[in-house]
Structure 1
Amino acid sequence: MNHQEPDFNVERLGECRFPSPMRGVRFTTDGERILYHSRYQEMRPFIDSGREPPSMEMGGPRERIFFDPSTIACGIVTCGGLCPGTNDVIRALTLSLYHHYGVRRVYGFRYGFEGVVKRHGHSPLLLTPEVVDRIGELGGTILASSRGPQAPSEMVDYLEELGIAILFTIGGDGTLKGAAKIAEEAARRGRPISVIGIPKTIDNDVSFLQNTFGFETAVDEAHRAIYAAHTEATGARNGIGLVKLMGRDSGFIAAYSTLVNSQVNFCLVPEVPFTLAGFLKSLEERLALRGHAVIAVAEGAGQELLPAATESDASGNVKLGDIGTFLRDAINGHFRAIGTEITLKYIDPSYIIRSQPANSHDSAFCLLLGHNAVHAGMCGRTCMVVGNWNQQFTHVPIRLATHQRKKIDPKGRLWSSVLASTGQSREID
């Protein structure tokens, strides 16, 4: 795959023969596309050579659909870690299927992909408008979740038994890869089963998507922790507030939380290595100058300073060393050794953040993601994830979304803005 010219073609199950039951809406035509590049400098080579620039298929309802809604059942599954907004997406999917298309059998599979394997014995929950009415007010997921893969053959067996025509998979990188395997197995059998992904990760690390749901709420909640750290730091002589935030491979939560109100003096992310000596020297200088400091560190930052990881979790993710407690102990030890008294407060709000209900903007985003996922499934798209790009909803092939993690560019504008906000020296990088 040429990363400069990604292939955005989305798989289709076949011809759309049925008229949509939706009325009074703006239908999207298959010819409507969203440009991948937005800067003139990126577009110029295509203009000069007369080539079609890369573009994504636009989301939205179609006038004609692939499935007869009166004859099908649909399934919803949530996998991986908890994330604000998951219940909002479940609710949006259920209500859109029920009210927009008249689908009356919507199954919620319990405990992640385990629930899509019959022998595990997790009976699916029949989702109705009454069941999902108030779930958006709750954190977590009413379907519960789990990590780890299941055999695609067993999952497709159960989908066939239940008459599932569209499976909506809510999750991050691992979930989307699992969804692709389900779609591949269904295609191998010649079964017209649509598999649609909805991107769930507070780390905001899915490629070819500007945002994933839950990210904005995570930044909101992270800011509360940073505010507390700043209050503690300024309340003591040589006070230091240290906050560890989620972000295994991508430091977007730490970066955007840093930009909220300029209270962070050091932002440490996985994409930008730093030396312990350089960091401690800069921290000394900060305390000498201002008498307090606030540090935001993403969980995946500084892993090169810790013992090499040897274990993985059920999703195949390497178990990271704890950079938060490492820095806490290193900072305390360093200033003790040089005879400087400090007061350090360490805050790890990770599970508090991910268990919160979505904020208002995230809830609206979840609703639109859910609606666009239903529209995509009903018109026979498959092996794709609903995304957003340049303020428009899009269809992205799962193979592109999972090709690599989206990360902060250390030479890009976001990181430049973080450095301008914190004033931290590049010498620690």
Structure 2
Amino acid sequence: MGSEGKTAPPKVVCGDAGYVLEDVPHLADYLPDLPTYPNPLQNNPAYSVVKQYFVNADDTVAQKIVVHKDSPRGTHFRRAGPRQRVYFESDEVHACIVTCGGLCPGLNTVIREIVCGLYDMYGVRKIIGIDGGYRGFYSCNTIDLTPKSVNDIHKRGGTILGTSRGGHDTSKIVDSIEDRGVNQVYIIGGDGTQKGASVIFEEIQRRGLKVAVAGIPKTIDNDIVVIDKSFGFDTAVEEAQRAINAAHVEAESVENGIGVVKLMGRNSGFIAMYATLASRDVDCCLIPESPFHMEGKGGLLAFIERRLKENGHMVIVVAEGAGQELITESMRSMEHQDASGNKLLLDVGLWLSHKIKDHFARNQKMAINLKYIDPTYMIRAVPSNASDNVYCTLLAHSALHGTMAGYTGFTVGPVNGRHAYIPFHRITEKQNKVVITDRMWARLLSSTNQPSFISQKDIEDAKKEDEPPTQLSDKENSHGVGVDFDTSAN
């Protein structure tokens, strides 16, 4: 990772009744004599109708919204939104945007709204895009970004800036930032990308540069903790419906038809779970968090036989990371990694299809007709839907309001429906996963009438694990379900 300075201790403020604020760094923490300026938003005619231009400096967002009467107030994060004073004059800002990792619906929307937001709300005119992910910092390949050049990019999938995995050398990246005179860096990517953003911020802080670093978390799998959901997730669930519907049509059109659909979800099965719940055509959903077995009483193959006898057809949805432990050592490649350090997984959908076919080939009493559908790259490459477009706009605006106000070393996202600034370490310390002892998973089991496949011991072990801190008591509002996002400050 190159030269990295010592990690600054977290900024934590404690208050009455168990109140804890996990604050984010600010440029004034290591550059104490910086001048401030009036926020130009107060002169922006578009904002003249807003009753309150700026969020209160002391506003915070509670991490847990459901508490008991006598429980402590708990952890809070600084509320996102425009501040009354800013730490950059508009004509001094030189911003850059970079996208890293895999594709995800909404990347172009975030790029567009950062550019248009800086341009229209703050009068910033110098904005560039880094071409090709982190490694693009090493080259001279940049793209000048203006509202005109990004006007309709949200209608296209992918990212106009290009992307890559790996390529992170902290010293070289910060050298490039310093040489180009960049003073605002917007980094869009998943947990690995945000870890990289964190060490970039630390090196910038060590060098004493007036450069604000903001992360915008991106993962189609929805596996980033603390925030309610990640952008692109709604679009992915919506697009997954097309594949499930196709599998259902194929399966019900023939005798003993089986449709197998593989969806994204390397370590977290949120897309598979929500797509299954939305579809109501799925007979079995398999995710990484819930182990299953193939053979014997209570196994998947016995369940398939029973469901075919009952209905004459069935649809199986499997997340890409499910069942990897069942694939024999001779077939698996889990010790191999991509450039980002992610384990390379075998195609569990293809493996599962072969296992099912082999089982019924040995059972001469029942012939099956199986169709396997893998829409993974089709889903990743589509433009974001209306819901994600709005969400991406709020994320972009929250990020640029924060950097203009001097905050740095943070990521943005909704926490219980309110956008907040979150320290990098909070979203990179672990992954968000489906809780199989939660009501939402119980709802899925009730919807599909599938067995849970797990033993009582597995259930007890799952109950002992710490519940992810952002998931609510009933999870009704987790991952954006039923959440009304706060738009007042954006």
Alignment TM-score, normalising by the size of structure 1 = 0.95
RMSD: 1.7
Matching of residue 376 in structure 1 with residue 394 in structure 2: no
Moved over 3 A (4+): 4-7
Distance in structure 2 (CA, Å) of the matches to 1:298 and 1:187: 40
- Give the 5 Å matches for 1:65-104: 65-104=86-125
- In structure 2, what residue type is equivalent to 1:409? V
Tell me the distance in 2 between the aligned counterparts of 1:149 and 1:115.
Answer: 8
Matched residue, 2:59? 32
Instruction: Provide the residue aligned with 2:468 in structure 1.
Output: none
Given candidates 38, 43, 50, the residue that maps to 1:19 is: 38
Q: In the alignment, what sits opposite 1:337?
A: 362
Give the drift of 1:7. Answer: 6.2
| Whole-angstrom distance in 2 between the partners of 1:357 and 1:10 | 32
Deviations along 1:180-225, one digit per CA (max 9) or x if unpaired, are 0110110111112111111111101111011111000000100110
| Structure 1 contact 111–122 (Cα < 8 Å) conserved | no
**Contact (CA 8 Å) 2:410, 2:421: kept in 1 or not?**
yes
Deviation at 1:45, TM superposition (A): 2.2
Residue by residue over 1:397-418, the C-alpha shift from the partner in whole angstroms, topping out at 9 and shown as x without a partner, is 1100011000000101221111
In structure 1, how many angstroms separate the alpha carbons of the residues matched to 2:207 and 2:350?
Answer: 50
Name the structure 2 match of 1:162: 180
Cα shift readout 1:141-177 (whole Å, capped 9, x = no counterpart): 0001000042111111111111111100011111101
Q: Following the alignment from structure 1 to structure 2, what is the Cα–Cα distance between the partners of residues 157 and 220?
A: 42
Distance 1:358 1:235 in 2: 32
1:385 alignment partner, one of 396, 402, 411: 411
SS of equivalent residue, structure 1 residue 201: coil
How high is the sequence identity, in percent, across the aligned residues?
44
1:276 to 294, 312, 315: 294
Equivalent-residue separation in structure 2 for 1:229 and 1:58 (angstroms): 44
Structure 2 CA distance, aligned partners of 1:311 and 1:54?
38
Equivalent residue for 1:49?
none
2:232 to 197, 201, 214: 214
Q: Equivalent residue of 1:45, what SS?
A: coil
Query: Which of 334, 357, 374 is the aligned partner of 1:348?
Result: 374
**CA distance in structure 1 between the partners assigned to 2:360 and 2:19 by the alignment:** 51
Equivalent residue, structure 2, for 1:425: 451
3-state SS, counterpart of residue 125 of structure 1: strand
Q: How many residues align?
A: 419
What residue number does 2:148 align with?
130
SS in 2 for 1:164: coil
Change (3 A) 1:60 1:280: same
Q: Output aligned runs, 1:36-47, within 5 Å.
A: 36-41=63-68, 44-46=70-72
1:316 counterpart = 2:341? yes
CA–CA separation in structure 2 for the residues paired with 1:407 and 1:427:
18
Counterpart CA distance in 2 for 1:170 and 1:292 is: 42
Cα distance in structure 1, aligned partners of 2:293 and 2:21: 39
State the AA in 2 paired with 1:264: V
How do residues 103-182 of structure 1 correspond to structure 2 at under 5 angstroms?
Answer: 103-117=124-138, 121-182=139-200
Q: How does the TM-score come out when normalised to structure 2?
A: 0.83
Match of 1:236 among 248, 254, 259: 254
Partner Cα separation in structure 2 for residue 30 and residue 175 of structure 1: 29
Separation in structure 2 between the aligned mates of residue 347 and residue 389 of structure 1, nearest angstrom? 35
CA displacement at 1:40 relative to structure 2: 2.7
Q: Deviations over 1:227-259 (max 9, x none)?
A: 100111111111100000011010000000001
From 386, 392, 396, give the equivalent of 2:422. Answer: 396
Instruction: Point out where structure 2 has 5 or more consecutive residues left out of the alignment.
Output: 1-9, 13-17, 29-33, 43-47, 456-490
2-structure distance, mates of 1:8, 1:250: 26
- Residue 328 in structure 1 maps to residue 328 in structure 2: no
Deviation at 1:428, TM superposition (A): 5.8
* Contact 1:114–1:122 (CA under 8 A) maintained in structure 2: no
Show the counterpart of 1:8: 22
The worse-fitting range, judged by mean Cα deviation, of 12-21 and 53-62 is: 12-21
| 1:69-120 CA-partner distances (Å, limit 9, x unpaired) | 2112000000001110100000000001111111111010010001112xxx
SS at match of 1:319: coil
8 Å contact from structure 1 (residues 34, 389) kept in 2: yes
Distance 2:410 2:282 in 1: 38
Q: Say if 1:109 and 1:6 are closer, same or farther in 2 by CA, change over 3 A.
A: farther
Cα offset for 1:6?
8.0
Q: Which runs of 5+ in 1 are unaligned?
A: 47-51
Amino acid at match of 1:191: L
Residue-by-residue CA offset, 1:37-95 (whole Å, 9 max, x unaligned): 11133x6321xxxxx42112111111111222211200000000111010000000000
Q: Deviations over 1:284-305 (max 9, x none)?
A: 1111111111011000001111
Deviates more, 1:190-199 or 1:240-249: 190-199
